[in-house]
Amino acid sequence: MQQKVVHAGVHSVSYLQASRDLAELSELSVPPKQVERLTQRVGQERATQRNAAVAAYQKRPLMEKDAAADLSRPCPQVAMVSVDGGRLQIRGSTAGTGEPSSHWRESKVAALETYLSVESAEDPDPHVPRCFLDLGRIIKLVRGLGHALPPGLDDAALEGGTQAGRSRRRSVRPGRPQRLVRSVVASRLAASEFGVVVAQAAWARNFFAAKRRAFLGDGQAANWTIYREHFSKFEAILDFVHALSYVFAAAMAGRSPVEGFAIYVRWIQIVWSGQVATILPELESRLAELGTPPAKCSDSDPRCLVFQSLRYLTNNAPRMRYDLYRRKGLPIMTSAVESTIKMINRRVKGSEKFWSESGAEAILQLRADYLSETEPMKRFWEQRQNEADGLRTYRRTA
């Protein structure tokens, strides 16, 4: 019964809905508060187990952490770690804490995946996919990332240019690695602490012994700090879609849709081919032509768009060898962790949802556990059952 209650508490949109689902589907009468208490208690147990595993991992010798293939454990052919952040509201005052006055806080999420793929002497997919030449789709994609765009861009203005990208779409990208098993880590820990948790999770799955390893992220500095501290022997890869958003914004900035689209098509093919350095001089010339953005500049100002794109692409150029990554059979997009965050947010994010710190950590831990294809909750419940003796201890009276 406890398994059913916790499952409902984690998967339903609220504890109230979990109570209703239990009554309707399992004929269990469990008040919402009892669902909440049991879910939080189990979540805290899992977080405690996670912390114990991390502490044991930190005590291991460095050589053991970075050891070559451990033949006693399965070794993945391709291992991938991707890190990003979600959002949820934390209840309580922030006065004197130095944190923003808003209740919105960041959650940390990591997706760890194994793949099957083949290495190639030549780029198996040298031409940028047509879906990235569909302007209507690109506009929605870039806006969905929260990236500013020049004013005046709308689907009607670009209607004539969207048709080319809609024909002859491929169902599977040539050379795309085949995903096998995903596990998930989620927490409210600070980035420095979260990095150790992710490293332990990767070590537990023998990721450091994989022949080909990839670490994917967007341009956030915290992601690459985790990379440097824990995954420096992995191939560092900037998410291609985030790179695309900056290329698109810079190409369209201050230009007509037709002119900007033509430049974007040329630029994005160059970036897809792993030659981003060749377009940086063009961005520098464009910035000199428009002028340096003033201190107080709108995000959609062409000067600001080009300046930010130049800085972003320059800083991340070493992580944009997409032709090399495809030859190695590595993933080049962070869709795994982004889709995982969406699934976590369905439970934790909402304008009327406020969490305590302990409640947030518990639900994030359980949500990650249930989304993991390695089935940690199945092992947890089996262990919990084995440790329970079913007897109540009584104390004799005098």
Per DSSP, the three-state class of 60 is coil
Q: Is 389 contained in some domain?
A: no
Q: Is 393 contained in some domain?
A: no
Does 198 share its domain with 100? Answer: yes
Does 42 share its domain with 90? Answer: yes
From first CA to last CA, the distance across the chain in angstroms is 37
Total domain count for the chain? 2
Above 90 in pLDDT, residue 144? no
For 247-286, letters b (16+ CB in 10 Å) and e give bbbbbbbbbebeebbebbbebbebbbbbebeebeebbeeb
Range of the domain at 264: 130-169+240-327
- Residue 294 to residues 128, 151, 299, Cα–Cα distance (Å): 35, 18, 11
Does 112 share its domain with 250? Answer: no
Q: pLDDT tier at 398 (50, 70, 90 boundaries)?
A: very low
- Residue 186 to residues 53, 85, 194, 244, Cα–Cα distance (Å): 15, 9, 8, 27
Does 199 share its domain with 276? Answer: no
Does 88 share its domain with 6? Answer: yes
Does 96 share its domain with 194? Answer: yes
- The mean pLDDT value for 268-291 works out to 96
pLDDT one-digit tens code per residue, 121-142: 999 999 999 999 999 899 999 9
Does 110 share its domain with 151? Answer: no
Q: Is 361 contained in some domain?
A: yes
Does 191 share its domain with 104? Answer: yes
Cβ 265 vs Cβ 255: under 8 Å: no
Q: What is the pTM of this model?
A: 0.89
Q: pLDDT tier at 153 (50, 70, 90 boundaries)?
A: confident
pLDDT one-digit tens code per residue, 355-381: 999 999 999 999 999 999 999 999 999
